[in-house]
Chains A and B, each alone.
Chain A
Amino acid sequence: MERVRGWRRELARAGAIVWKDLTAERRTRANFNAVVSLAVLTLLLFGFALGPDTEALRAAAAGVLWLTVLFSGVLAFNRSYQLELENGALDTLLLYPGERRSIFLGKLGANFAFVLLVELVVVPVAAVIYNLPLLRPFPGLAGVMLLGTLGFVTLGTFYAAMASRSRAREVLLPLLLFPMMIPVLVGSVEATSALLAGDPMGDSGAWLRLLVVFDLVFLVASVLAFEHVIEE
């Protein structure tokens, strides 16, 4: 009973942080707009780099889409701590009673929502300019987007807690994060392109399982490790 109440209190704290961050984001909105613009620009640039052959573009689309998500998402993570650091709010957050992991879960939730919103724009745009069928594979595709993004955002939020407070954070975060993302990238891209092709071999299920395993392992590991990372 006591434990249940503790959990509920933690979740409430995490929810409050999600709400606070998203409200701040909604008020200024400039950051979100900039990230989305950059993501769309990236899609266009890949299109130019890979040539005008429609069939070749469609074959490469899943990879392009996920790289675009990775490169635009990474811009959001450092920022979520940077705002706290600039006005010293992180120290205040740390002073509040309760488990540190609710801070992590809160940041994670806010980043997750942010990247999903970016994807909500990026995926339809990619579908238009790369000529992809979206409606037919929709439920599976949504699952891949959710699972892949969760893995990405979990480690992104975790590494940004360190990178944002170090020198050279711009280069350090992708340097730490991207190599760790390779299973997510491989799994998401393979599942996405299988689904876009109508999944004739039924491959997407295996990749979805890989994503689930990755998400679980690193969700647990980073929640456990976060207390050591954040303590001062």
Chain B
Amino acid sequence: MTISASRPAAAQAPGPARRIQVLGWIAFLAVLVAEAVSLWTSPPDRDMGHLQKLMYVHVPAAWMALLAYGLVFVLSLLYLWKRDERHDLLAAAAAEVGVVMNALALALGSIWGRPTWGVWWTWDARLTSTAVLLVIFLGYLALRAFTEDPDRRARWSAAVGILGFLNSYIVYMSVRWWRTLHQVQSSPETLDPIYTRGLRMNAIAFLLVLVYFVARRYRAARLERAAEARIEEAALAGEGVHV
């Protein structure tokens, strides 16, 4: 009986699941609407023509990846400070979603780069540092997968998440200097207001998707941890009975 009293909250609370599902439908609908509107309204770009439309998925995906990694950074610091398991599980959720968004952004950048630059890949500062971030956080996920003890996993991955995020800016700066030294012009940054509006709409839709993914992934992590903790408890209790 004492066991059920100390059961983790996630075990008996399926409450927010419904709300998350609703958020999911809204998020996907928002992406659909944002894409439709922005595809419909944006005129072909002077230089890139219709290819400019790829910006509406590529850029939001990259932003969401960065946002997710920023979340990992903050949650990792919080975990090391407060030692609350929920921060760790949420950080892991954000990292996985960030990796998905990051991979998507890279693939889209490649698809976009082929017709505009004529190559699938270029050693552009932003593209390259995004790739480095992807590998850094793949390492984060690998570390988690290879570490069984939950307390250890939480502390270690928090450290890796913090250092990885700290490095992202240094990586970006170093690649940029590297490029300028080798005299390659990077792409211009001006954007017409009509494109900005479409981009903003898509970014908000992607943000909803990001929140939905993280919430869902977090729920999975909570349930998995609850089952794991329960098994540990049962094992300890079982030992007590037999001895």
Given contacts A155-B163, A180-B164, A225-B159, contact A187 B174 (CB under 8 A): yes
Who on chain B is nearest to A171 by CB? B142
User: Within 8 Å CB of A172, what residues of B?
Assistant: 139, 142-143, 146
Which residues of A are found within 8 Å of B138, using beta-carbon distances? 175
Shortest beta-carbon distance from B15 to chain A in Å: 33
Contact segment of B16-24, B46-54, B175-183, B227-235: B175-183
Chain A 150-176 interface mask (CB, 8 Å, partner B; 1/0) = 000001001100110011100010011
For A175, give its contact among B142, B156, B181 (CB under 8 Å): B142
Stretch at the interface among A59-67, A74-82, A127-135, A212-220: A212-220
CB <8 Å contact, A228 and B80: yes
Q: Cβ of B155 and Cβ of A231 under 8 Å apart?
A: yes
Q: Are B143 and A186 in contact (CB under 8 A)?
A: no
Nearest B residue to A184, CB-CB: B174
Q: Which residue of A lies closest to B135 (CB)?
A: A179
Cβ–Cβ contact B174 & A222, under 8 A: no
Q: Does B211 contact A (CB under 8 A)?
A: no
**In the bound complex, do residue A179 and residue B132 qualify as a contact, i.e. CB atoms below 8 Å apart?**
yes
Number of interface residues of A (CB under 8 A): 33
Identity of the chain B residue whose Cβ is nearest the Cβ of A189 in the assembled complex: B178
Across the interface, do A228 and B158 meet the contact criterion of CB distance under 8 Å? yes
Q: What are the interface flags for A199-232 relative to B under an 8 Å C-beta threshold, 1 for contact and 0 otherwise? A: 0000100110010011001100110010011010
We find that the number of chain B residues with CB closer than 8 angstroms to chain A is 29
Min CB gap B107→A, angstroms: 19
Q: With CB as the reference atom, state the residue of chain A lying closest to B159.
A: A225
Rounded to whole angstroms, the CA-CA distance of A168 and B77 in the bound complex is: 26
Distance between Cα atoms of A203 and B167 in the complex (Å): 22
Which residues of B sit under 8 angstroms from A166, Cβ to Cβ? Answer: 143, 146-147, 156
B155 contacts A218, C-beta separation under 8 Å = no
Q: A182-B132, A187-B174, A214-B170 are in contact. Are A175 and B159 (CB under 8 A)?
A: no
Given contacts A166-B143, A206-B177, contact A183 B162 (CB under 8 A): no
Cα of A210 to Cα of B173 in the assembled complex, Å = 9
Query: Which residue of the partner chain A has the closest CB to B140?
Result: A176
Those of B118-168 within 8 Å (CB) of chain A: 132, 135-136, 138-139, 142-143, 146-148, 155-156, 158-160, 162-164, 166-167
Q: List 24 A-B contacts (CB under 8 A).
A: A158-B159, A162-B143, A162-B147, A162-B156, A167-B146, A172-B139, A175-B142, A178-B135, A179-B136, A179-B139, A182-B175, A183-B167, A183-B171, A183-B173, A190-B181, A206-B177, A207-B177, A218-B166, A218-B167, A225-B159, A228-B80, A228-B155, A228-B158, A229-B155
Query: B: which residues have CB within 8 A of A?
Result: 80, 132, 135-136, 138-139, 142-143, 146-148, 155-156, 158-160, 162-164, 166-167, 170-171, 173-175, 177-178, 181
14 extra A-B contacts, CB within 8 A, seeds A180-B167, A210-B170: A162-B156, A163-B143, A166-B146, A167-B146, A167-B147, A175-B135, A176-B160, A178-B135, A182-B175, A190-B181, A217-B166, A218-B167, A221-B163, A225-B163
